[in-house]
Amino acid sequence: MRQATKKRKEVNEEAVVNDVEGNESGTTICKGIIRYHRGCRPAHYMLQIQSYSVLAASKVERYESDVFQAGVYNWRMILYLHGKREANKDRHISLYLEFAESQNELPVDWEVWAHFKFFIHDQINDKYMVIQDAQNQLERFCSDKTECGFDELLLLDAFRDPNNGFLIGDSCAFGAEIFVAECSAKRECVSTILKPPENGTYTWKLNSFSQIKAGHCNFCNSESFTVGGKKWLLRVYPKGAKGCSDEYLSIFLVFNERGGMSEKRCYAEFTLRVKNQLTTLRNFTVNGEKWFSGRDNSWGSNDFMKLKDLKDTKKGYYVNDTVIIECQI
Cα 108 to its chain centre, rounded Å, is: 15
Q: Is residue 232 part of a domain?
A: yes
What is the rounded average pLDDT for all residues in the chain?
84
Most confident of 19-28, 169-178, 220-229, 254-263: 169-178
Statement to judge: residues 151 and 25 lie in one domain? yes
User: Is the overall model pTM greater than 0.85, yes or no?
Assistant: no
* pLDDT of residue 234 exceeding 70: yes
Residue type at 14?
A: E
- Residue 61 included in any domain: yes
| Encoded amino acid at 107, one letter | P
Looking at the chain, list the stretches that DSSP marks H as alpha helix, in order from N- to C-terminal side: 2-12, 52-57, 156-160, 307-310
Query: Residues 67, 74: contact at Cβ < 8 Å?
Result: yes
- HSE-CB at 224 with a 13 A cutoff on CA atoms is 7
| % pLDDT > 70, the chain | 86
The answer for residues whose C-beta is within 8 angstroms of residue 48's C-beta and 6 or more apart is: 171, 172, 173
- Amino acid 212: pLDDT: 83
Mean per-residue pLDDT for 106-124?
92
DSSP 189-223: ------SPPTT-EEEEEESSGGGS--STT--EE--
Pair 141, 276 in one domain? no
Number of domains in the chain: 2
Which pLDDT band holds residue 281 (cuts at 50, 70, 90)? confident
Residue 279: pLDDT band with limits 50, 70, 90: confident
The reply to whether 174 and 236 lie within a common domain is: no
Alpha-carbon distance of 284 to 310, in angstroms, equals 9
Residue 217 included in any domain:
yes
Quote the pLDDT of residue 24: 43
Same domain as 171, residue 77: yes
* Phi, psi (deg, nearest 5) at residue 82: -120, 20
pLDDT in tens, 120-133: 999 999 999 999 99
What gap in Å lies between CA 88 and CA 90, rounded to an integer? 6
pLDDT computed for residue 166 by the predictor:
96
Contact 297, 254 (CB under 8 A): yes
* Domain match, 240 and 165 both: no
| 15 exposure class (CB count in 10 Å sphere: 0-12, 13-18, 19+) | exposed
> 160 is in which domain, residue-wise?
10-181
> Band of the pLDDT at 49, cuts 50, 70, 90?
very high
Question: What is the CATH classification number for the domain harbouring 23?
Answer: 2.60.210.10
pLDDT at 215: 64
Distance from C-alpha of 65 to C-alpha of 40, rounded to nearest angstrom = 21
pLDDT score for 12? 43
Look at residue 261 and tell me whether its pLDDT is greater than 70.
no
3-state secondary structure of 281: helix
Same domain, 125 and 16: yes
| Residue 277 falls inside a structural domain | yes
Residue 190 is assigned to a structural domain of this protein? no
User: What confidence score (pLDDT) does residue 218 get?
Assistant: 81
